[in-house]
Amino acid sequence: MSSELVATAAWRRWGCVVVGALTLVIGSAQMAMAQVRPDSARRDSVRLALPIPPRDSAAAEPDSVMQARILARSDSMRQLMLADTIKTPVARFEMPSASLDISETLRFDRNQILSSSALNLTDLLDRVPGVTTFRSGWLAGIHAATYNGDARRIRYFVDGIEIDGVDPRGGGATDLVAVPLWTLDELVIERGAGEIRVWMRTLAATRTTPYSRVDVFTGDLNTNAFRGFVARRWRNGLMFQAGGQQVATQSGRVSVIDGNTGGRLRSDGSVQLFLTRLGWARGKWSIDAYGQGGSRDRDRHIARDTTVFSNLPKYKGAHREGYVRVGYGDTLEGFWSQAMVQSLRVKIEPDSFVAVLDANGVALPRPDTIAARTQQVVAVGYRTNRWAVSLTDRIRPLNGVTLHAPVARGSAQWRAFSLGGWVERSGPDSTDRTEAVAQFRPNSWFVVNAAYASRTPGDSTGRIASTSMRAEAAIRYKDLWLRGGVLRDDAVRFANLELLTLPSLLIEAPAAQGILIGARGRLYKDLRFDVQSLRWNTGQFQRPPSSVRAELGVNSEWRRRFPKGEFGINARISYEMRDGVPFFYGVRGEEEALDIRVTEKAQVATAHLEIRIQKATLFYQYRNLSGGQYEQIPGITMPPAVQMYGMRWEFWN
């Protein structure tokens, strides 16, 4: 019995020791956890392995079930490792500051571009006061724009590279059909006092999940179109993109016997475009190569009265362009720098030209059918939340001479004040430009904006120095912004719009002043309204005396009914009115009378409807609701009412 008592006492002592040790460990852990802040504690930072009692052999799961469970767990871990991530973007060229424009409707991200009802860039430029657009037909027709009558006062930049008007037909103007909107990720229209600058940034993939998009639409005038786009980023930073489109229109009726088209030809044709991008980005460094090529053919357009007006010739040509870019940093914050080399080549068939006359009616020599140009861009800058500054040099080798066009720009914000400046020397048209803009926003319901610009062309251009000024103010009443302003231009001398087969010469315009009024905002819930009117005190070639544009629309995702955002509706109707636009066709007859032709007054209403279900968007558009005839080029009648409908579908997989 004594031995049993000794053993029992020993077991009690060891039990006390074990219980005391466990109590000490648990108490220490509790004290340590009490001294750690809850927001700094790591979840599951300490794991305890608890013994699991062996299961009954009869209840043990078969080997096949266990293997399937292990494989499923492995697959879930693999999917977690390959989950979608956002990679460092390739270099992005700087965009103008959002605080320096009184209008917030001239900045578009990718979704806003696609849902804007714009078929090309001319539709977006219609929203800019002072800009006049010209079209010869539907999708394949001529599309051009001027600012206060001068096409060269609208400049286009894609990824920081300026689009040079090298088309032999254009005389320096750009046919905007060659600027596709569906390839863009962001677009900003910068309103200067003396010119308009359109900044476009192409889409660059940032997510490792493959992305693809398909656009298909059809409609009147035998309109048929298809677009496709794919993009992919890999975890090592590599990127690949490719896309293409085919658009074709044809009015009238086509004979199945001889293929002849009945009715009047109205700039029908087809447009093809293909693009690709290869790149790599990691950390602050990136390199990418972008290229696109396309072709376009257009039927001739017969004027409504050939005894008075001129026909537009047919067109067939192709273009190739591309660039290589190396970048460091991001233009959204901190220090950044970029270097680019771009090449552009345009080829036009010989029968696409029309005889161009000078002021005396003498035919000028036909230009070359092939035009090419290269451009190098070197840029450096720094951006903070309060200010930004950049230096850019665009280098163009031309006729054996290297031309430099340095640009310095800056912007700053301090309390209610915002300032911006642009200084350029020896631009692409041998013109020095200086521009300044200031804005004062003391509160949330009032803002005033003023801008000044000067242009000094080179002596060899034949133009004259001039200045421009703009002053605007806006006040908010409830949910509406009421806006008014004054635009003023000195006497100017600019080139005729040769792209519309006008004679190659310089035309003069007197000093002019325009009055701008407008309103925009929310009328009721998701119902929004935007209207603006501009009237000039003097007439000028290639600019209407007055114009009005209004838009009424609903754009909503109805989050109360669809909280996950899987549904959206975008319905709008727009109305545009412009007075007759005068064009100068030189002199005619022995008396040398001025040949001035004026377009008819135009009124066009357009309806647009989009319904989005998850990633698929159905759209319908009806242009020229009244069906009446109108023209934007003298004697060149635009198509009557045109309907178009189709679908956009995005895929992430």
Residue 553 pLDDT > 90: yes
CB proximity list for 42: less than 8 A, separation 6 or greater: none
Q: Could you tell me the pLDDT band of residue 68, with boundaries at 50, 70 and 90? A: low
Please give the structure tokens belonging to residue 215. Answer: 């656009």
Query: The domain spanning residue 164 has which CATH number?
Result: 2.40.170.20
**Does 201 reside within a domain?**
yes
Give me the domain span that covers residue 546. 107-252+268-353+369-652
Alpha carbon dihedral 618, 623, 627, 630, in 10-degree steps, equals -170
Tell me what pLDDT residue 418 has. 94
Tell me what pLDDT residue 628 has. 87
**Does 612 reside within a domain?**
yes
Residue appearing with tokens 């998009």 = 213
Domain count for the chain: 1
Residue 30 pLDDT > 70: no
Query: 120-167 pLDDT, tens per residue?
Result: 999 999 999 999 999 998 888 899 999 999 999 999 999 999 999 888
- The 3 state secondary structure assigned to 3-65 is HHHHHHHHHHHHHHHHHHHHHHHHHHHHHHHHCCCHHHCCCCCCCCCCCCCCCCCCCCCCHHH
Q: Could you tell me the pLDDT band of residue 354, with boundaries at 50, 70 and 90? A: low
**Does 394 reside within a domain?**
yes
Query: 96-119 pLDDT, tens per residue?
Result: 987 677 766 799 999 999 999 898
Query: 616-641 pLDDT, tens per residue?
Result: 999 999 999 998 889 999 999 998 88
CA-closest candidate to residue 625, choices 547, 568, 572: 572
**Which segment of 54-58, 167-171, 594-598 scores lowest on mean pLDDT?**
54-58
Query: 194-235 pLDDT, tens per residue?
Result: 999 999 999 999 999 999 999 999 999 899 999 999 999 999
Instruction: Report d(CA 337, CA 67) in Å as an integer.
Output: 54
User: How large is the greatest C-alpha to C-alpha distance in the chain, in angstroms?
Assistant: 147
Tell me what pLDDT residue 32 has. 39
Q: Could you tell me the pLDDT band of residue 14, with boundaries at 50, 70 and 90? A: very low
**Does 338 reside within a domain?**
yes
Instruction: Report d(CA 647, CA 143) in Å as an integer.
Output: 24
Tell me what pLDDT residue 433 has. 96
| Segment 556-577 mean pLDDT | 93
Residue appearing with tokens 């990691």 = 282
Instruction: Report d(CA 318, CA 297) in Å as an integer.
Output: 9
| φ, ψ of residue 462 in degrees (nearest 5) | 80, 0
Tell me what pLDDT residue 53 has. 53
Q: Could you tell me the pLDDT band of residue 589, with boundaries at 50, 70 and 90? A: low
Residue 260 pLDDT > 80: no
What's the pTM value of the predicted model, to 2 decimals?
0.84
- Give the 3-state secondary structure of residue 344: strand
Instruction: Report d(CA 282, CA 206) in Å as an integer.
Output: 11
Q: Could you tell me the pLDDT band of residue 393, with boundaries at 50, 70 and 90? A: very high
Tell me what pLDDT residue 368 has. 63
**Does 28 reside within a domain?**
no
Tell me what pLDDT residue 254 has. 46
Instruction: Report d(CA 152, CA 428) in Å as an integer.
Output: 10
For residues 146 and 154, is the Cβ–Cβ distance under 8 A?
Answer: yes
**Does 18 reside within a domain?**
no
**Does 19 reside within a domain?**
no
Tell me what pLDDT residue 65 has. 65
Residue 265 pLDDT > 60: no
| Segment 323-342 mean pLDDT | 96
Instruction: Report d(CA 360, CA 368) in Å as an integer.
Output: 23
**Does 47 reside within a domain?**
no
Instruction: Report d(CA 201, CA 113) in Å as an integer.
Output: 12
CB proximity list for 538: less than 8 A, separation 6 or greater: 510, 511, 512, 513
Instruction: Report d(CA 356, CA 361) in Å as an integer.
Output: 9
